[in-house]
Amino acid sequence: MRLIALLKKTALENLRDWKILILTLAFGPFFVVLMYFYLGETTQAPYRVIVVNHDEGAAQTGGPTLYAGRELIAEMMEARYDSGSSVFEVQREDEPGLAQRRLADGAVDLVVEIPQELSKVLLEYRQGKRPAPAVVKTYGNPAGANYLMAAVWSDMIAYEYAAALTGISGPLELEASAVGGEQGLSDFDLYVPALLTLSVIMLMFTAAASLIKDKDKGTIVRLRLSNMTAVEWFSAVSLTQVVIGLLTLIVTFLTAAALGYRATGSLGAMLAVGVLTCLSIIAISLVVAACLRTIFDLLTIGCFPFFVLLFFSGGMFPLPPLRLFTVGTRPVSANDFLPTTHAISALDKILNHNAGLGDVGFELAAMATLTVLLFGLGAWLFTRRHLRARS
């Protein structure tokens, strides 16, 4: 009965703080909408390419003049992904200097420069001659996210066009196959698991606030006089926050779905990971609350662990792994000690790659282990610093 009364008390307190509750519920959907407008809804956005065509053409015996440069540009414009969207957004430019200035300004991803002798060289190859190869130059910024893929596509199309025109095929054929989900994933799709985890991270403030307010207002003294145990109090707070966290997770997912996101895996598996993620955030909140004294401390000092979870879990920004050691064949990195790292990985596998709970066993085990350790540490710290002193 005491647990039910504590649950009712904690739930009513969260409802009274409706501004914080609304902020928690709206935080995830807000960032989903924001990322959607930034990343767009296309499966693959076209790479922006400027082509500088110097090709002068070459006369063919008994046929029209060959303009290989024009045909290569047409091949680039007609290139399509499996989804039907264009690979390239092709622009033409006569001045290489101007094209490279636009590349430096970030207006395009790649500059392709076609040489004057392209038609002549390809025609001679088709006639069985072996002239010096024509050099098709590409320019790009290695720091640009799209440069490498744009260059690969451009080179592949140029090789295939030259092979088809000359009738000379290479000794090697390449075949690439995707592993995982059956559908193409946009940048927005790839961000959704991280955004779902981000929505749950907001529980750190509501859970820690519930603990700190009872301590700060002296409510905890009256609760202890009622023979309430620490387990009952922590359980009531945790259950209430899990409900809030799952509600936040569902609202955030529905927002993503309304914007066109389609999960390939089980929603039940997503909720199971969500429950474990909520518990891990609550465990972190318990450690945070044990180290703070007032709500003001939570709003200032408490932002530090929030941003650690936000940025170092690898969801918002892809960070290179800081390898520490290896367990069997699996390397262990510094960010693996954050449960949100495994939450993002598990949700990505489930929602984007049609995995089941059995396929994310390592992530679930890591999250469960970290949650138990953090709960134990937080309960010990909070009891030692605040409950025993007020008994």
CATH number of residue 61's parent domain: 3.40.1710.10
Tell which of 166, 194, 215 closes a domain.
166
The backbone torsions φ and ψ at residue 159, rounded to the nearest 5 degrees and listed phi first, read: -65, -45
| Those residues with Cβ within 8 angstroms of residue 125's Cβ, 6 or more apart along the chain or in another chain | 131, 162, 166, 168
Q: Are residues 51 and 19 in the same domain?
A: no
> In this structure, is residue 18 part of a structural domain?
yes
- Specify the pLDDT at position 180: 53
Q: How far is CA 304 from CA 174, 289, 312, in A?
A: 48, 13, 12
Three-state secondary-structure class, residue 86: strand
- Indicate the number of domains in the chain: 2
- Specify the pLDDT at position 377: 94
Distance CA 124, CA 137 (A): 20
Distance CA 112, CA 268 (A): 48
- Specify the pLDDT at position 72: 95
Q: Are residues 234 and 320 in the same domain?
A: yes
Question: Are 215 and 385 in contact, with CB atoms under 8 Å apart?
Answer: no
Q: Are residues 324 and 363 in the same domain?
A: yes
- Specify the pLDDT at position 40: 62
Please tell me whether the overall predicted TM-score, pTM, comes out greater than 0.85 for this model: no
Q: Are residues 9 and 135 in the same domain?
A: no
Tell which of 114, 133, 166 closes a domain.
166
> In this structure, is residue 172 part of a structural domain?
no
> In this structure, is residue 270 part of a structural domain?
yes
Q: Are residues 280 and 360 in the same domain?
A: yes
* Strand ranges (E), the chain: 47-53, 58-60, 63-66, 88-92, 110-114, 137-139, 323-327, 330-333
Helix H or strand E segment including 169: none
Q: Are residues 268 and 120 in the same domain?
A: no
Q: Choose among 144, 282, 273: nearest CA to 201.
A: 282
Q: Choose among 376, 202, 199: nearest CA to 290.
A: 376
Single-letter amino acid code for the residue at 245: G
Query: Count of CB atoms within 10 A of residue 128's CB?
Result: 9
- Specify the pLDDT at position 44: 65
Q: Are residues 339 and 371 in the same domain?
A: yes
Which tokens in the block code for residue 55? 């090709």
Q: Are residues 58 and 187 in the same domain?
A: no
Q: Are residues 155 and 195 in the same domain?
A: no
> In this structure, is residue 68 part of a structural domain?
yes
> In this structure, is residue 174 part of a structural domain?
no
> In this structure, is residue 171 part of a structural domain?
no
The DSSP line for 62-77 is: TEEEE-HHHHHHHHHH
Q: How far is CA 54 from CA 50, 58, 119, 161, 181, in A?
A: 13, 13, 10, 17, 42
User: Tokens 């800081």 belong to which residue?
Assistant: 322
Which tokens in the block code for residue 214? 């009872």
Structural domain boundaries, residue 95: 47-166
Tell which of 166, 193, 228 closes a domain.
166
Q: Are residues 322 and 379 in the same domain?
A: yes
Q: Are residues 16 and 100 in the same domain?
A: no
Q: Are residues 254 and 305 in the same domain?
A: yes
> In this structure, is residue 36 part of a structural domain?
yes
Query: Count of CB atoms within 10 A of residue 83's CB?
Result: 11
> In this structure, is residue 262 part of a structural domain?
yes
Q: pLDDT truncated to tens, each residue of the chain (391 aa)?
A: 566 766 677 777 777 777 778 888 888 899 899 888 877 655 567 899 999 999 999 998 878 999 999 999 999 999 988 777 889 999 999 888 899 889 888 889 999 999 999 999 999 998 888 889 999 999 998 877 788 889 999 999 999 999 998 888 777 776 766 555 455 677 788 889 999 999 999 888 888 888 887 776 666 655 565 666 767 778 888 899 999 999 999 999 999 999 989 898 899 999 999 999 999 999 999 999 888 888 888 878 888 888 888 888 877 776 777 888 887 777 888 889 999 999 999 999 999 988 999 999 999 999 999 999 999 999 898 888 766 644 3
Three-state secondary-structure class, residue 17: coil
